Structure 1
Amino acid sequence: MSILRSVALFVVAALFEIGGAWLVWQGVREHRGWLWITGGVLALGAYGFAATLQPDAHFGRILAAYGGVFVAGSLVWGAVADGYRPDRWDVTGAVVCLAGMALIMYAPRGN
């Protein structure tokens, strides 16, 4: 159950971070205004809190592993929100990043 909770927290963190960055992008680059930017800043702050809920106690491990989730999640977000179509190299890279995330977070350790 701990792995399922951890994966769910990574998904929540990705929604907050990627969504927050996208809202800021929309507010600034697409001239949607301060309301979008403010929503983005709040979402980015929520991401920071979501990361602290991971069951592992090591900040570096969690943030390093989250990098893989961020890469894959960003491609999914771009496809859904902006119509970006990842090519096979994007998908291959995301799979490699997710495999790295799984190794970092869930490999058996003797300590």
Structure 2
Amino acid sequence: MIVTRSIILFAIAALAEIGGAWLIWQGVREQRGILWVIGGVLALGAYGFVATFQSDPNFGRILAAYGGVFVAGSLAWGVAVDGFRPDRWDIVGAAICLLGVAVIMYAPRG
């Protein structure tokens, strides 16, 4: 149950951070306006709060593990939202990152 909760929190954090960054990108780079940027800033702020709900008390561990989630999530966002087609090396790299997340977060500790 703890692992499931952690994975769900990582997924919510990824949606907030990647979505927030994408909204800012759209507002600035695609000139969609300030409301997109404001939405992005709010989503990025929400990401900061979501990370605090992880059960592990170590900020560095949570943020390091989230980095791997961010890599894989960013590629998935690109596929779902921007029509990006990752090549096999993108997929291999994302899988390695997710393996790193599993080791950092869920390895047995004494």
- TM-score class, shorter-chain normalisation, is over 0.9
What residue number does 2:4 align with? 4
- Post-superposition Cα deviations, 1:39-73, rounded to whole Å, max 9, x if no partner, equal 00000000000000001000000000000000000
How far apart are the structure 1 equivalents of 2:52 and 2:107?
20
Query: Where does 1:82-93 land on structure 2 (aligned, <5 Å)?
Result: 82-93=82-93
Q: What code does the residue aligned with 2:30 have?
A: E
Percent sequence identity is 73
User: RMSD across aligned C-alpha pairs, in angstroms?
Assistant: 0.3
- Would you identify which runs of 4 or more consecutive aligned residues in structure 1 move more than 3 Å? none
State the 1:11 CA deviation. Answer: 0.1
The 5-angstrom pairing of residues 71-82 of structure 1 reads 71-82=71-82
Alignment gaps of 5+ in structure 1 = none
Aligned match of 1:106: 106
- Separation in structure 2 between the aligned mates of residue 77 and residue 15 of structure 1, nearest angstrom: 9
Q: How many residues align?
A: 110
Matched AA of 1:103: V
| Residue type at the aligned position of 1:76 | A
Q: Which runs of 5+ in 2 are unaligned?
A: none
